[in-house]
């Protein structure tokens, strides 16, 4: 291979690299291959052999889905430089190696690769070789590389159609536009479409877009057939459509008619005259007319057969009087070939007036007085549907009890009020500038008894309006009147439905979130029956505001509150339920209440706690929560403090009563423990005792005295005691000491026997200033130690009264005086203390009692003189006694100086 051949190879490689660089970005391998090519050029200029082979084909365009075969040929120089053969060749798409199973060895210097082309293959395609030389062991070199493109050949164009659009008034200058279907598959590759038109004398070739093209003729060939086809071509192939042969006149689309206008004709209120100008001169056309009422989108077309021929005007009949209409006109070739033109611009006008052809819609609102004696009627009406002009006034006639009254109402009035007392018949007519409408009749009975009301009325929203359904109560009804009233503002409207209807959509301007009262009236021969009313919403939403809580009462464990019912405008729907939420701390609870609830009582609350309560109102469209209300439960329940006070008072009263009862039942015991019982002489019963002998001894005779000896013996004087008494002294001492402190007079069993009671004074005593002293003890003398006295023993009386004894009392108790004997001299013996008993006296003998009583008094009658306690006293002996007869007798009692001495 000479240098020229090498340079050609290098140039081919460079072109391949340049083409690939124009379609994709160069990566490192691309730049390496380009540098290698430049090196080959440099070496070729110096006659140096460097390139080692070539790849075929160069710069290929590949069809997706088809197999592709590439061949790599090693040059002799390349084999020498690398020592490689065809077995050392391997292929790569970009950096992805192609498996060996796709390789085919052609000879020792060439190998091929066959793969199926997919969109996943990436540029470039490279042929590489492994070097077998020791110096280049395990190294590889790029032999050659190419950049490729993939795509599809174009599809055959189909459905070729063409149209000649007339240009103004010059048909020969009209272009021809053609359309075709290029197919559904994207060829990916750049594809060219060419429109071909072959005239008898000339051919046209015009590049077109993918699906259409346009040809401009110098002079449009008419009445001559032309051949039309389309060719599509790219690098993978070329496709041609079928040939379409046509006369350009037969594919013409004329411009729409010009200057279309409509004219009304007086005296013909139901027809209009339409005129227009032809858009293409010297070419026969036919026309099509359509019209509709203004504001409507429903068009009515005149039959094509009615507009045949070269006409430029047409009278449209059977229209509505005094109605605005819109007209449009279009045209096409009279032979029926070609296309209809576009519709002309709108032409609008109004038909003339005619007298109303339908009666007005008359209705009423009846209000009866409380005594039902008079009925107030509010008449309402609507203009006739076919008023055929402008209504200028109304005539109202009221027939009541054979009398006819007529009223006039202007066009602006659509309401009239009157009062009736009996059934009436009302007639209403409307009139315009041409004439009056048919009369509308309304009968108002005394009561709505006939016909009966309908049944099962429902009203639900649907398709942006309200639909009413009902069931008739009787057959053969004339019609139904559907009435609806806005609860918010009282606006009322109505519509009529035929007697065969069972449902209807209300044709009113209903607003969402507004409540309406919908009533269905059955009407038979102009007599409305009793209505059935239901409430409905076009759309429900959440209430505008939530209920506001107002407290009614609060207790210890309960709270009762209420809220005002929301107004109709605030509800925005039908209230389905109320939900009461109440919270204390982190604990939250709720209660669901029915829709008619306006109050709630919370129970089982915690005492003396803070709560927050709020109410949520719900409708089918949502819920709204009202403001929160804070309250505190009480520490005590209502009446609990009063109950506690009452219980405490009752307990205290019960305790007091119980204590009083115990004190009454145990008063003696309490008295004994609280204070000792002090004998009250005035309450003593000793005076009632029965003595064993006369209570009064005989009074001693005058002048006779009896000697009385009083011996005081100290019970503790051991010198005067016998030996046998000394042994019992301690015991007797304790006994005597205890008796001295006992209650009563003597305290011993012997002393408790009945004693003689001696009065303190004689009956004739007048010197006593106080009540007679009650005697409570007496001392009777008896024999000493079994000795029997020779004479009647004397008796001594003792009184605890503090009053001094009278002289008569001191003498009349002397028993010896009764016998006329003289009173012996009194002898006093020493003693150690007052109220001490003699030891030698028998306690149970009368003598002993006498001595005890004598010893117990520090001073007393019978010549006793008082002796201070603890002092040494001596009693005069017989020798010291008074021997003189003139000595006055000793008194039996001495006045008590110190009063009563407690025992």
CA 787 to chain centre: 119
Given a cut of 80, whether residue 45 has pLDDT beyond it is no
Instruction: Please answer whether residues 844 and 838 qualify as being in contact, where contact means their C-beta atoms are separated by less than 8 angstroms.
Output: no
Lowest mean pLDDT among 289-303, 435-449, 711-725: 711-725
pLDDT confidence tier of residue 83, bands split at 50, 70 and 90: confident
Closest residue by Cα to residue 362 from 377, 383, 392: 383
Cα gap 790→816, rounded to integer Å: 12
pLDDT confidence tier of residue 899, bands split at 50, 70 and 90: very low
Given a cut of 60, whether residue 215 has pLDDT beyond it is yes
Given a cut of 50, whether residue 390 has pLDDT beyond it is yes
Given a cut of 60, whether residue 17 has pLDDT beyond it is no
**pLDDT score recorded for residue 692:** 56
> What is the domain class of 254-350 according to CATH?
mainly beta
**pLDDT score recorded for residue 145:** 86
**pLDDT score recorded for residue 6:** 45
Q: Which class for 790: exposed (0-12), middle (13-18), buried (19 or more C-beta within 10 A)?
A: exposed
pTM: 0.49
What is the maximal distance between C-alpha atoms in the chain?
221
Residues 6+ positions from 652 with CB-CB distance below 8 Å:
none
**pLDDT score recorded for residue 861:** 40
**pLDDT score recorded for residue 683:** 75
- CA atoms within 13 A of residue 591's CA, in its CB half-sphere: 14
Lowest mean pLDDT among 295-304, 672-681, 858-867: 858-867
Output 226 or 282, whichever has higher pLDDT.
Answer: 226
Output 883 or 200, whichever has higher pLDDT.
Answer: 200
Given a cut of 90, whether residue 495 has pLDDT beyond it is yes
Report the alpha-carbon angle 744-749-753, nearest 5.
Answer: 80
Q: pLDDT tens digit string along 768-817?
A: 443 344 444 455 555 554 555 555 555 444 554 454 544 444 444 443 44
CATH topology of domain 549-632: Immunoglobulin-like (2.60.40)
pLDDT confidence tier of residue 897, bands split at 50, 70 and 90: very low
Output 211 or 677, whichever has higher pLDDT.
Answer: 211
CATH topology of domain 361-444: Immunoglobulin-like (2.60.40)
Q: CA 567 → CA 123, 302, 570, distances in Å? A: 78, 57, 5
Strand-strand pairing, 705-706 and 822-823: parallel
Output 174 or 752, whichever has higher pLDDT.
Answer: 174
Lowest mean pLDDT among 198-202, 328-332, 674-678, 856-860: 856-860
Given a cut of 60, whether residue 338 has pLDDT beyond it is yes
Helices 3-23 and 28-45: crossing angle, nearest 10°? 160
Residues, the chain, total? 903
Print the SS3 string covering 616-629. EEEECCEEEECCCE
Instruction: Please answer whether residues 535 and 516 qualify as being in contact, where contact means their C-beta atoms are separated by less than 8 angstroms.
Output: yes
Given a cut of 50, whether residue 732 has pLDDT beyond it is no
**pLDDT score recorded for residue 278:** 86
DSSP 440-473: EEEEE-SS--SSPPPEEEEEEEETTEEEEEEE-S
641's tokens: 């403090």
The CATH architecture of the domain made up of 158-251 is: Sandwich (2.60)
Q: pLDDT tens digit string along 98-136?
A: 998 988 888 888 889 899 988 888 888 888 888 777 665
Average pLDDT score over the chain: 75
Which whole number is the average pLDDT over 587-598?
94
Lowest mean pLDDT among 79-83, 125-129, 418-422, 546-550: 418-422
Given a cut of 60, whether residue 342 has pLDDT beyond it is yes
The residue behind tokens 């309406």 is 516
**pLDDT score recorded for residue 371:** 61
CATH topology of domain 455-537: Immunoglobulin-like (2.60.40)
Given a cut of 50, whether residue 26 has pLDDT beyond it is no
Burial 50-62 (b: 16+ CB within 10 A, else e): bbbbbbeebebeb
102's tokens: 């796709």
Output 246 or 37, whichever has higher pLDDT.
Answer: 246
Matching fold, domains 254-350 and 361-444: yes
Instruction: Please answer whether residues 890 and 823 qualify as being in contact, where contact means their C-beta atoms are separated by less than 8 angstroms.
Output: yes
Given a cut of 90, whether residue 484 has pLDDT beyond it is yes
Given a cut of 80, whether residue 197 has pLDDT beyond it is yes
**pLDDT score recorded for residue 699:** 55
Cα gap 1→872, rounded to integer Å: 189
pLDDT over 70 for what percent of the chain? 68
662's tokens: 């115990």
Given a cut of 90, whether residue 275 has pLDDT beyond it is yes
The domain spans of the chain are 3-151, 158-251, 254-350, 361-444, 455-537, 549-632, 647-675, 679-762+772-903
Q: CA 627 → CA 259, 546, 591, distances in Å? A: 69, 7, 17
Given a cut of 70, whether residue 491 has pLDDT beyond it is yes
Which whole number is the average pLDDT over 839-853?
41
Which whole number is the average pLDDT over 713-722?
45
**pLDDT score recorded for residue 372:** 60
Q: pLDDT tens digit string along 644-693?
A: 899 999 999 999 999 988 888 888 887 777 777 677 777 777 767 666 55
DSSP 288-341: EEEEEETT----EE--GGGG-SS-SEEEE-SPPTT-EEEEEEEEEETTS-S-PP
CATH (residue range 3-151): 2.60.40.10
């Amino acid at each position: 291979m000479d240098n020229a051949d090498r340079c050609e190879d290098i140039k081919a490689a460079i072109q391949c690299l340049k083409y690939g660089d124009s379609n994709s970005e160069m990566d490192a391998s691309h730049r390496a291959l380009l540098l290698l090519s430049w090196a080959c050029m440099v070496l070729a200029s110096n006659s140096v052999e460097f390139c080692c082979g070539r790849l075929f084909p160069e710069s290929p365009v590949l069809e997706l889905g088809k197999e592709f075969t590439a061949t790599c040929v090693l040059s002799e120089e390349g084999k020498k430089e690398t020592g490689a053969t065809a077995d050392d060749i391997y292929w790569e798409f970009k950096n992805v190696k192609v498996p060996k199973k796709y390789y085919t060895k052609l000879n020792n210097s060439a190998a091929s690769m066959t793969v199926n082309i997919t969109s996943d293959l990436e540029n470039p395609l490279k042929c590489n070789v492994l070097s077998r030389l020791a110096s280049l062991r395990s190294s590889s070199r790029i032999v050659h590389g190419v950049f490729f493109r993939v795509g599809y050949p174009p599809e055959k164009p189909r459905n070729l159609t063409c149209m000649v659009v007339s240009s103004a008034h010059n048909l020969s200058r009209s272009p021809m536009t053609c359309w075709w279907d290029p197919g559904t598959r994207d060829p990916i590759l750049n594809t060219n479409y060419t429109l071909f038109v072959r005239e008898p004398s000339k051919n046209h070739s015009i590049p077109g877009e993918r699906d259409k093209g346009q040809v401009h003729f110098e002079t449009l060939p008419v009445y001559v057939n032309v051949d039309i086809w389309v060719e599509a071509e790219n690098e993978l192939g070329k496709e041609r459509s079928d040939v379409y042969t046509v006369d350009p006149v037969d594919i013409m689309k004329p411009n729409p008619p010009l200057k279309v206008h409509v004219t009304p004709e007086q005296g013909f209120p139901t027809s209009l005259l339409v005129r227009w100008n032809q858009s293409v001169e010297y070419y026969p056309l036919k026309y099509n007319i359509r019209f509709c009422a203004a504001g409507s989108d429903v068009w009515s077309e005149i039959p094509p057969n009615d507009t045949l021929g070269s006409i430029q005007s047409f009278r449209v009949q059977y229209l509505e009087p005094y109605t605005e209409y819109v007209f449009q006109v279009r045209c096409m070739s009279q032979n029926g070939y070609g296309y209809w033109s576009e519709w002309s611009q709108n032409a609008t006008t109004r038909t003339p007036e005619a007298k109303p052809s339908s009666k007005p819609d008359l209705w009423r609102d009846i209000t009866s007085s409380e005594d039902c004696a008079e009925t107030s009627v509010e008449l309402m009406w609507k203009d006739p549907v076919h008023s055929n002009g402008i209504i200028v006034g109304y005539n109202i006639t009221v027939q009541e009890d054979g009398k006819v009254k007529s009223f006039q109402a202007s066009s602006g009035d659509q309401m009239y009020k009157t009062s009736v007392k009996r059934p009436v018949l009302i007639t209403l007519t409307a009139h315009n500038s041409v004439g009056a409408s048919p009369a509308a009749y309304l009968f108002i009975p005394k009561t709505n008894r006939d016909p009966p009301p309908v049944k099962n009325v429902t009203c639900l929203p649907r398709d942006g309006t309200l639909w009413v359904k009902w069931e008739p109560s009787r057959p053969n009804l004339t019609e139904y009147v559907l009435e609806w009233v806005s609860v918010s503002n009282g606006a009322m409207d109505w519509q009529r439905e035929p007697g065969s209807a069972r449902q209807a959509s209300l044709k009113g301007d209903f607003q969402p979130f507004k409540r309406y009262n919908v009533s269905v009236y059955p009407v038979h021969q102009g007599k409305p029956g009793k209505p059935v009313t239901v409430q409905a919403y076009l759309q429900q939403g959440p209430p505008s505001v939530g209920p506001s809580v107002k407290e009614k009462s609060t207790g210890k464990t309960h709270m009762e509150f209420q809220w005002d019912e929301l107004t109709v405008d605030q509800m925005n729907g039908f209230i389905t339920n109320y939900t009461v939420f109440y919270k204390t701390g982190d604990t939250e609870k709720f209660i669901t209440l029915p829709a008619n609830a306006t109050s709630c009582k919370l129970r089982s609350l915690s005492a003396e706690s803070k709560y927050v309560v709020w109410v949520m109102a719900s409708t089918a469209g949502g819920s709204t929560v009202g403001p929160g209300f804070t309250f505190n439960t009480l520490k005590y329940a209502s009446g609990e403090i009063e109950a506690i006070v009452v219980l405490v008072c009752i307990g205290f009263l019960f305790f007091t009563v119980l204590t009083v009862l115990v004190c009454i039942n145990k008063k003696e015991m309490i008295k004994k423990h609280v204070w000792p019982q002090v004998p009250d002489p005035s309450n003593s019963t000793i005076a009632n005792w029965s003595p064993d002998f006369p209570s009064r001894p005989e009074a001693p005779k005058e002048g006779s005295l009896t000697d009385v000896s009083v011996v005081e013996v100290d019970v503790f004087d051991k010198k005067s005691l016998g030996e046998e008494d000394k042994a019992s002294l301690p015991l007797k001492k304790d006994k005597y000491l205890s008796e001295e402190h006992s209650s009563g007079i003597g305290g011993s069993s012997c002393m408790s026997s009945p004693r003689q009671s001696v009065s303190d004074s004689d009956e004739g005593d007048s010197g006593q200033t106080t009540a007679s002293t009650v005697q409570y003890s007496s001392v009777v003398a008896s024999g000493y130690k079994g000795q029997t006295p020779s004479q009647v023993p004397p008796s001594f009386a003792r009184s605890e009264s503090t009053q001094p004894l009278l002289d008569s009392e001191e003498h009349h108790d002397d028993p010896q005086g009764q016998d006329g004997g003289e009173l012996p001299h009194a002898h006093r013996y020493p003693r150690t203390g007052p109220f001490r008993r003699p030891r030698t006296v028998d306690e149970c003998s009368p003598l002993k009692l006498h001595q005890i009583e004598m010893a117990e008094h520090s001073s007393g009658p019978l010549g006793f003189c008082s002796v201070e306690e603890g002092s040494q006293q001596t009693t005069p002996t017989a020798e010291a006694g008074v021997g003189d007869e003139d000595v006055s007798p000793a008194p039996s009692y001495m006045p008590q100086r110190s009063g009563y001495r407690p025992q």
